[in-house]
Amino acid sequence: MGQGEADRSTASTTEAVAGPDKPVAVIVAHSFLDRATLEPVRGGSVRYLRDLAYLLRDLGFNVRIIQKGYRDLRVNFDEGIDIEILRVPLRAWADFIFAGRVARRLRGVALCVYGTPEAGFPFYARGSVVIQHGVWWDRLDYSRLKGAAIRLVQRVRNATLCRRARVIICVDTNYINYLRVTHTARLGNIAKCRYIPNYVDTAGLPAVSDESIHKRFAKRKLIFLRRLEPQRGALLFASVCRCLREQGVVFQATMVGEGSQRGAVTRYIAAHRLEDTVRVTKCDFHEVFQELSDSTISVIPSCWSEGTSLAAVESIGCGIPVVASDVGGLSNVIVPYHNGLIVPAEVEALAAACTRLLDDERLYSRLASNCVSMRDALSYERWLSEVREAIFPSKGLRVKGCKSER
């Protein structure tokens, strides 16, 4: 996240101030604060819910975010925004317990938002708002039985969600098309979906000129700005770097992030003697744009469970062409040969795409310029306007309240 996003807690879109006489809006999510440190978890979905909480607060709501945790606890996050942590097992089977406990807390609530769609099943509040961050059950290495069971559960869950939600805000079109091809919901329920692309804080973006694009191209530096997790393609990116090195391509690479595969990635780099080529590091939110501005190409090699990727949107906003896999909703924000390249999630295909951009300055410069031209389309202000209109139609703030199905 950029510096402007880090300071958003002090910004206000209206003069409304939350107080005891204000209506209550509840945002339900599996996680928001880290369960050990009580600091916000890093990631695009948490950033999204944080900004949504500020929007609702600035519209005059008292906002409560309810999440899972190791113990029951209330935390004051910011003025008008509280976090309620419920002691619930952190396994998927405990979603039913969490949803039931949440449902009992929705009485008298003016607005319920499910930031994690699974967190409400089977007790979704009627008239609620759902934030759908994409399809995560598209993993290919499930066993035949487990895969069939997960797909069945998802069909039932999504059918219930579509019936009871008032609006479903989707960061990509992948989920909407999933509903269509599986006939999970009737046409009237699909009409509840609103495609609102992800966003970047354009106020914190660096200026981009033809000269700076040329300097970036000359650096020949790849960046992986993602959590080091299997679904994000952390080891796949390391393999791409090995492939490029073996092909004699001159480049440098930086992997920025934390995650369960950090150890595996560092061991892979050491085993293949890539230490002089690939650097593994981490950065604070306000340092993201600095890391991007020092890079040539942003690589998004997702393997499954992908929406539109905050890293992809931030890269485009910074004028950095993106090489991405053909997974999830990445093709909603990356147009081949306009602002990046889309290829299969395979080592050779990703390596070839990177080589193409590293060797063709004319193509690279055109893609970089096109990235910058998309800033307004991917701006926070555009997102703010669309989300407010989706939740509160232009006729006014008409909140009738949500009815729990518990």
- Strand 81-87 to strand 252-256: parallel, antiparallel, or no bridges (unpaired)? unpaired
Residue 269 tokens read as 């780099």
User: At CA 251, angle to CA 305 and CA 342, rounded to 5?
Assistant: 35
Helix ranges (DSSP H) in 183-259? 187-190, 210-219, 234-246
Burial status of residue 79 (CB atoms within 10 A of its CB: 0-12, 13-18, 19 or more): exposed
Task: Name the β-bridge partners of 379.
Answer: 200
- CA–CA separation, 65 vs 25, rounded Å? 9
In angstroms, the CA 5 to CA 50 distance is: 10
Sequence-ordered strand ranges (E) for 278-321: 278-281, 297-300
What is the fold of 202-373? Rossmann fold (3.40.50)
What residues form DSSP beta bridges with 373? none
Judged by DSSP in three states, 290 sits in helix
pLDDT at 202: 86
Q: How far apart are CA 13 and CA 59, in angstroms?
A: 8
The two structure tokens encoding residue 22: 């204000």
| Residue 337 CB coordination number (10 Å) | 12
Rounded distance, CA 6 to CA 399, Å? Answer: 30
pLDDT at 15: 35
Task: Report how far residue 26's alpha carbon sits from residue 64's, in angstroms, rounded to the nearest whole number.
Answer: 5
Q: pLDDT tens per residue, the chain (406 residues)?
A: 444 444 454 333 333 444 568 999 999 999 999 988 999 988 888 999 999 999 999 999 999 999 999 999 999 999 999 999 999 998 888 999 999 999 999 998 999 999 999 999 999 999 999 999 999 999 988 899 999 999 999 999 999 999 999 999 999 999 999 999 887 767 678 889 999 999 998 888 889 999 999 999 999 999 999 999 999 999 999 999 999 999 999 999 999 989 999 999 999 999 999 999 999 998 776 678 888 989 999 999 999 999 989 999 999 999 999 999 999 999 999 999 999 999 999 999 999 999 999 999 999 999 999 999 999 999 999 999 999 999 998 755 555 556 656 5
Could you tell me which residues are beta bridge partners of residue 86? 68
Q: Where are the domains of the chain?
A: 3-199+379-391, 202-373
pLDDT at position 93 = 86
Q: Is the peptide bond before 122 cis (omega within 30 degrees of 0)?
A: yes
Q: How far is CA 349 from the centre of its chain?
A: 24
Q: By 3-state DSSP, what share of the chain in percent is helix, strand and coil, each rounded to 5?
A: 40, 20, 40
Smallest Cα–Cα separation from 28: which of 92, 124, 154? 124
CATH class of 3-199+379-391: alpha beta
Going by C-alpha positions, the residue among 81, 101, 62, 157 that lies closest to residue 404 is 101
Contact 114, 131 (CB under 8 A): yes
As a whole number of angstroms, the distance between CA 66 and CA 50 comes to 12
What type of residue sits at position 127?
G
Copy the structure tokens of residue 183: 């006939």
Starting at the edge strand that comes first in sequence, how are the strands of the sheet with 73-78 ordered? 73-78, 81-87, 62-69, 24-28, 111-114, 128-132, 165-170, 193-195
Contact between 257 and 289 under an 8 Å Cβ cutoff? The reply is no
CA distance 42 to 48: 11
Q: Give 243's contacts (C-beta < 8 A, 6+ positions apart).
A: 347, 348, 351
Find the angle CA(54)-CA(35)-CA(128) to the nearest 5 degrees: 45
- Does 3-199+379-391 match 202-373 in CATH topology? yes
State the DSSP code for 41: P
